[in-house]
Structure 1
Amino acid sequence: MLKQVIEAYELLDSARVDGYTVADFLKGRGVKEVEVTTIEGEKGSTDFVKIVIPGKDSKAPKLGIIGRLGGIGARPERIGLVSDADGAITAIAVALKLADMQSNGDILPGDVIISTHICPDAPTKPHEPVPFMDSPVDIATMNKYEVDKRMDAILSIDTTKGNRIINIRGFAITPTIKEGWILRVSEDLLDIMEYVTGRMPAVVPITMQDITPYGNGIYHINSIVQPATATDAPVVGVAITAEVPVPGCATGASHEIDIELAGRFCIEVAKGFGAGKVKFYDEDEFRRLVELYGSMKHLQTLGRLEK
C-alpha cells in the first residue's frame, strides 16, 4: 500500500490542508461515511476526522484505528510535515487502501472505524530526551472525538521516536492495555507482525505510568496508549520507531516504507479481527486476573487528584 501512503503524505503536506480537504479526497475514492468536527482549543484549532469503512457483516467485531498525534505540522516554527504526523498519515493511508480494496471487490468481514485529527500549525513543547509536538486540544478532547463506543478493539498508531528505549527502525507494538491492566502481548498480533515485516517482532516496553491519563504530572513515553484511558475495549499501540531519538517536531523525518509497514499491519489485523480469528487478549485470563487482584480501572483516572 505504498501508493496510498504517498498519496496521504502528499495530501497532508500542505500549510492549508484541513479535515474537510481530507474528507473530500476520501469521498472521491468512494468512502461514503466521513465525519469532520472542528474543535477550538487554548492553543488553536484542529479538525477531527472519523471514517467508517463498512464490512460484510454489521454484527462482526469492529476494529478501531486511531492515528494519534499532536499535529501534522508546527507552522510557522517549522516548514513541512513533522515526524509526529506519521500517525495521521498511516490512518488516512489505511482508509484509502480499504476504499480501493472495496472498489476492487475485497470487503472485510467487519467494519473498520478510523479516526485522527488534522492540524498543520500545532505548537511544540519541551520533553526529554527530545522535544515533542503539543496539540491545540487536550488528551481528554482527543479521546472524546477519536475513541468511538462502537470500537471493539483499538490499534493506536503514534510516532514513538522521542525516546531511548525502543531502538529499531520500523514499527513496534505494545502489550494489550485493558481497563488499567497491562496484559501479555497478543500472540496473534505478533504473528501478523512477523508475516508483514518478515522480521522478528519488536515490542514497546510500556510502563504503568504510561497507561495513566495525561495531566497527572507524571512522565509518559508519549500518548500512544492514551485511548485506553477512555474505553474498556482492549488497546494496542502501533509505534512507528527509529534507532535514535528523533524530535516529534522534526521535519524530513518520516519514512514512507515504515509507515507502509504499519499500515499494512493494521489492515491485516482488521481482516482477522472482523472474522473473529485475531484476539487482542485472552478473555478467561483477564477475568481470572480481576478475580484474583481486583479492578485496575482507577489507573484510567487522574487518581486521588481527580475531582
Structure 2
Amino acid sequence: MIELQELLDDPAVTGEAAAAYLEREGVPDLAVTRVEGEKGEADFIRAVIPGTDGRLSGGNAPTLGIVGRLGGIGARPARIGFTSDGDGALSALTIAAKLGQMHTRGDRLKGDVIVTTQICPNAPTRPHDPVPFMDSPVTSAQANEAEVDPAMEAILSIDTTKGNRIVNHRGIAVTPTVKDGWILRTCEPVLSILEQTTGKLPVVLPLTMQDITPYGNDIYHLNSILQPSVATEAPVIGVAITAVSQVAGCATGATHLEDVDEAVRFAIEVAKAYGAGACPFYDPQEFDRILGRYGRMSHLRTMGEQK
C-alpha cells in the first residue's frame, strides 16, 4: 500500500506503470485501456486473479468484482499531490497486488476476482455542497463501461466518502445492497466481516433513491459510490472510506493509510467468503418475492423521463 501510494503520487504516473507493479506482485491477467473524455483522459486498469474453482477454470464458484471508484488521484494543476478521492484507486490496486502475491504463494481463493479502477493524476474539480467535488476527465457512463465487467456476479465499490455530514466516523462504512434499482437490506455476513476486520461495531452508510440513479440526471447524489449499480443487475455494496469532518475529494494530504488498510483487508475477506459461498450479497428468494409484490425498479438505472 505504501509503495503504491508513492507510485501514484506522481504527476507523470500512468496505468502502465501501475500495471507493471501489479505484474511484479504476481497478478497474472492485466489490461490497461486509455479512455478519452471531454475533460481529459484516464487509464483504466483491469486485474484478474483466478480462483481454484472459479468460472475461468470451469468451476462453480462465483466471481466477485472490486471497483475502485473515483474522479482522479490528482487534481493538478489546481492542487498538488495525491487527493483524498484517490483512496478508491489506492485501495483497489493494493487489493489486486495482495491477491496477486497470495496467488503466487499458493493461497488461492475459490472464486475469480476482477479488480478495476482508473488512474488520472490531473482530473478537474467542480463545485459541490458542502465541499468541492473531484470531477472526472471521463463521464460516469464511460467509467462504468470500463470498470463494470459482465463477468462480475457481485460488486464491492470502494469510494472515498468524506464530503458529507451523513456519516461522522473515521474509517470505513458499508452500504445496504443495491440490486437492479432496489435498495435491499444490509448484508449480515458483510457486517460480520466488517466487525472482524476493523475490530469495531459496523457502520452503515445510508442511501437514498437519488444515490442509485445515474450521474448526469440533474439530481443530487451523495457521491459516485453506487454508480456501478446502474450498469449491472448484479448486487452492489458500497465500501465508503469516511471521516469525522467534511473533507473535499480534491483535498490533498488527507489520505489515512490505516483507513485504506481497513478497506483493503475488509475487501479481501469478503472475496474469500463470497467465492466460498459464505457471503451472499442478498437473498434471491426474498428478492423474487419483492419483485412479485412490487415489480421491478430497473428504470432507476436509466436517465428517466423529462416531464
Runs (5+) with no aligned partner, structure 2: none
- Structure 1: how far apart are the matches of 2:30 and 2:224? 24
- Structure 2: how far apart are the matches of 1:162 and 1:174? 16
- Structure 1: how far apart are the matches of 2:29 and 2:123? 27
Match of 2:81 in 1: 80
- Partner-residue secondary structure (3-state), 2:305: helix
Match of 1:183 in 2: 184
- Structure 2: how far apart are the matches of 1:235 and 1:53? 20
Match of 2:144 in 1: 143
Match of 1:123 in 2: 124
Query: Which residues in structure 2 correspond to 1:250-261 (within 5 Å)?
Result: 250-261=251-262
Q: Of 12, 18, 22, which residue of structure 2 is paired with 1:22?
A: 18
- Structure 2: how far apart are the matches of 1:49 and 1:305? 35
Give per-residue Cα distances to partners, 1:237-260, cap 9 Å, x unaligned. 000000011000000000000000
- Structure 1: how far apart are the matches of 2:52 and 2:106? 11
- Partner-residue secondary structure (3-state), 1:166: coil
Question: Is residue 25–residue 98 contact of structure 2 (8 Å, CA) maintained in 1?
Answer: no
- Structure 2: how far apart are the matches of 1:31 and 1:171? 26
Give per-residue Cα distances to partners, 1:167-200, cap 9 Å, x unaligned. 1000000000000000000001000000001110
Give per-residue Cα distances to partners, 1:228-282, cap 9 Å, x unaligned. 0000000000000000110000000000000000110000000000011111011
- Structure 2: how far apart are the matches of 1:26 and 1:169? 28
- Structure 2: how far apart are the matches of 1:98 and 1:305? 45
Q: For the aligned residues, what is the CA RMSD? A: 0.9
Q: How far did residue 11 of structure 1 move?
A: 1.4
- Partner-residue secondary structure (3-state), 1:165: coil
- TM (normalized to structure 2)? 0.97
Q: How far did residue 305 of structure 1 move?
A: 3.6
Question: Is residue 177–residue 281 contact of structure 2 (8 Å, CA) maintained in 1?
Answer: yes
- Partner-residue secondary structure (3-state), 1:304: coil
- Structure 1: how far apart are the matches of 2:216 and 2:78? 25
Q: How far did residue 103 of structure 1 move?
A: 2.2
Structure 1 residue ranges, 4+ long, deviating more than 4 angstroms after superposition = none
Give per-residue Cα distances to partners, 1:98-134, cap 9 Å, x unaligned. 1111222200001100000000000001000000100
- Partner-residue secondary structure (3-state), 1:303: coil
Match of 1:54 in 2: 50
Match of 2:226 in 1: 225
Question: Is residue 7–residue 93 contact of structure 1 (8 Å, CA) maintained in 2?
Answer: no
Query: Which residues in structure 2 correspond to 1:260-279 (within 5 Å)?
Result: 260-279=261-280
- Structure 2: how far apart are the matches of 1:129 and 1:90? 25
Q: Amino acid of the residue matched to residue 68 of structure 1?
A: R
Q: Amino acid of the residue matched to residue 205 of structure 2?
A: V
Match of 1:205 in 2: 206
Match of 2:36 in 1: 40
Aligned residues: percent identity? Answer: 60
1:167 correspondence with 2:135 = no
Question: Is residue 73–residue 122 contact of structure 1 (8 Å, CA) maintained in 2?
Answer: yes
Question: Is residue 66–residue 91 contact of structure 1 (8 Å, CA) maintained in 2?
Answer: yes
Q: How far did residue 8 of structure 1 move?
A: 1.6
1:280 correspondence with 2:278 = no
- Partner-residue secondary structure (3-state), 2:89: helix
What is the total number of aligned residue pairs between the two structures? 302
Match of 2:102 in 1: 101
Give per-residue Cα distances to partners, 1:136-194, cap 9 Å, x unaligned. 00000000000000000000000000000111000000000000000000001000000
Question: Is residue 177–residue 228 contact of structure 1 (8 Å, CA) maintained in 2?
Answer: yes
Which 10-residue stretch deviates more, 54-63 or 292-301? 54-63
Match of 1:10 in 2: 6
- Structure 1: how far apart are the matches of 2:12 and 2:217? 34
- Structure 1: how far apart are the matches of 2:29 and 2:45? 10
Give per-residue Cα distances to partners, 1:9-46, cap 9 Å, x unaligned. 11111111010111111112221211100011111110
- TM (normalized to structure 1)? 0.97
- Structure 2: how far apart are the matches of 1:222 and 1:20? 28
- Structure 2: how far apart are the matches of 1:64 and 1:184? 20
- Structure 2: how far apart are the matches of 1:26 and 1:305? 45
Question: Is residue 90–residue 263 contact of structure 1 (8 Å, CA) maintained in 2?
Answer: yes
